[in-house]
């Protein structure tokens, strides 16, 4: 796909590269909207060559990746996303507090009409005051407009 107009693309391959890229570009930003689903864990070591099939089972030790939203600090509106299968509001509120978010967009990934693989979504918005707004089922485009309206309202003045 071609790069979107007015967007500076930065190529990355790993969660750490994404973290480094975000932290090196965010200081002049008005808002950081982290919609990317960055892996929570990575293989502890990287294989230098193809791993051959030899056993019926394999265990791969994992290490936690850096949480980009927790690391990103500055004078900008910080928006996160949460894909949850249970305790949607309480888990999302916890992320708002823990990551210092101004807004979180929480998705119930168990809803068959919303989220992955469909053109609609039903999200819950939770702001820094932990106030909850449940949006109805909308097109993903309309959800994005509602999110941007909330981000605009979070700017000072």
Radius of gyration of the chain (CA): 18
Type and span of the H or E element at 133: strand 132-134
CATH of domain 15-41+58-154: 3.40.50.10300
pLDDT range class, residue 104, cuts 50, 70, 90: very high
Domain ranges of the chain: 15-41+58-154
Whole-prediction pTM: 0.87
- Mean of pLDDT values over 9-21: 93
pLDDT tens-digit profile of 54-80? Answer: 889 999 999 999 999 999 999 999 999
pLDDT score, position 8: 86
Residue whose structure tokens are 């509106």: 77
Residue 95 token pair = 């992320």
Residue 48 token pair = 């230098």
pLDDT score, position 28: 87
- Mean of pLDDT values over 77-102: 96
């Amino acid at each position: 796909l071609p790069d979107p107009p007015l967007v500076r693309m930065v190529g990355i391959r790993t969660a750490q590269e994404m973290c480094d890229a975000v932290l090196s570009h965010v200081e002049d930003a008005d808002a950081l909207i982290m919609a990317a689903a960055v892996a929570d864990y990575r293989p502890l070591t990287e294989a230098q060559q193809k791993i051959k099939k030899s056993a019926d089972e394999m265990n791969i030790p994992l290490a936690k990746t850096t949480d980009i939203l927790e690391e990103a600090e500055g004078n900008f509106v910080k928006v996160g996303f949460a894909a949850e299968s249970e305790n949607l509001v309480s888990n999302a509120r916890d992320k708002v507090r823990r990551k210092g978010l101004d807004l979180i967009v929480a998705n119930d990934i168990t809803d068959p009409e919303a989220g992955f693989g469909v053109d609609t979504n039903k999200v819950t918005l939770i702001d820094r005051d932990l106030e909850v707004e449940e949006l109805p089922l909308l097109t993903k485009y309309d959800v994005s407009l509602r999110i941007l309206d909330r981000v605009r309202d979070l700017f000072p003045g």
